[in-house]
Structure 1
Amino acid sequence: MDVCWRLQERGFTLGFSAAAMVWHHRRNSVRTYWKQQMGYGRAEAMLERKWPKKYNGSGHARWAGRIYGNGLTHALRWRRARVYHGVWGVAPYQSLYEPAPGLLGSLPQMPEWYLMIAIVLVLSAVSLVWSPLKLLLPLLVGVVLPPLAQASLSAARASFNDAPPRRAARVKRRLLTAALHLLQPLARLRGRLQYGLTPWRRGSPGLAAPWPRTLAIWSEHWQDPDQRLQRIEADLKAAGAAVRLGGDYDRWDLEVSGGPFGSARLLMGVEDHGGGTQFLRFRRWPRGSRGGVALTALFAALAGGAAAAGAWAAGTILAVVTLALALCVVLECSAAAALIARTVRQLRTGGA
């Protein structure tokens, strides 16, 4: 991927060649396969550091291609996947006709899904000291079943060139294939975590106050407000930020994501004065994501309920989780606010 992105950055165009071949070294043991997949996770972290604009806030590359084959992990979907060939197989751009896997079908394939399993497992274990948390047991089953189903489906559809004649040997090979499908995201997760590619990582070089702030700039050079916002957007993206533009009815212009739990928004106001001068006002404020705020409120309520019931051990554990979630929201909002503050200050020092 690094070579492809470097070529595209230099103006080259990548194309498809049906005759192209790639030789891939298959590992011959579970141990070497584990090391290989950990290496892939480390490589993803290294690529994210070099190409932050190519990755989203969760640490996954923005890619819209398609891979076809029988040896892949099959996403869970309601309908069977089809490849659009066209009449006599001449139809181009198959991805336009083959819909991408849905969010629910793709989530269990992400390495971070195993973090979700670990969190739900720990909370379910807390039910041993506070019985109301046993209500999480169905949720635990719900987060464990999708990876198992995907691994089983992928192993069942895998093809082997030298299938053994004995049924027991074939079943053993299928079980091993399913186990490798389960190990692959876990190994990638370990490699990603070791090199800092986490959903809670901060792309900002620092932190800023997580409360509303206003900055005023006097400019001797007139410029259209749209062009100023486009410049700010370009500078933010160059710094590796994930930027979203405000819509027609939004009371903000730009939103910078600090991660899955928090972001910061920016609103610009312009006053035109005589002689081509302008007075600019920028207001930024933090915004916790709905999911982050909802999770924090949920665990706070659970901690309060456990404390009210006298289950102090469970209440303490849930309170620690609540504080950790609240800290994530604050840090991500602060990181996004720092990116906005630095970019706006560059307008002042660079001669807005």
Structure 2
Amino acid sequence: MSPVSAPQPLARPLAPAPRPCVRGKFLFVGDTKLHIRGVTYGAFAPDAEGREYHDLAVIERDFALMAAAGINTVRIPHTMPPRALLDVAAACGLHVMVGLSAEQYIGYLIDRRRDAPDIADLVRAKVRSCAGHPALLCYALGNEIPAPIARWLGRRKVERYLERLYRVVKEEDPDGLVTYVNYPTTEYLRLPFLDLLCFNVYLESQERFDAYLARLQNLAGERPLVMSELGL
């Protein structure tokens, strides 16, 4: 069996496209308001070299089917995808939310080992790999930092940690939008520096969901609110 080659950018040129931006409580692409209709793509079993998104033919097929079904946004939850995936997304008219996995590194704030990696450098390298791409919807700093760890470290330390990573992202991609995927258990985190608010919410009834959605709109203030995961 021949080895799988690393993903390469599409041969066809991509038309220049404006990047998503925030205007008040809404997202825009150029002068068009962006109403997100999204799905999560992954996680998938990696290949022998640890690459999760390595088969461009499969990605092109999947993204084309998503676009045909009216999907306009794809969330890559825990892995920085190759730039070639973003090229495919752009060709299909899709936007991509990429994850920077801050929750995977927060333990180093507790266990300060001498051989611990530089978290800022890890995040910086991920951002550089796709900075400026027109298919990028936003960078998600992390996803659901576990509530026990947030309580152990304290609210302010977690907030400072996320703000530090936010600034790293902005240094590498000043026009990129940045968020953090929160959930009800740690809604007390105050993150006013984020460009948009993202929440995962699973509640048992439509009435409770509607009430909590109104609360989240208040927390978001004048920023867009994105439901990154939801269910009843």
TM-score (normalizing by structure 1): 0.21
Instruction: Compare the two structures and name the one with the higher strand fraction.
Output: 2
TM-score (normalizing by structure 2): 0.28
- Between Structure 1 and Structure 2, whose CA radius of gyration is higher? 1
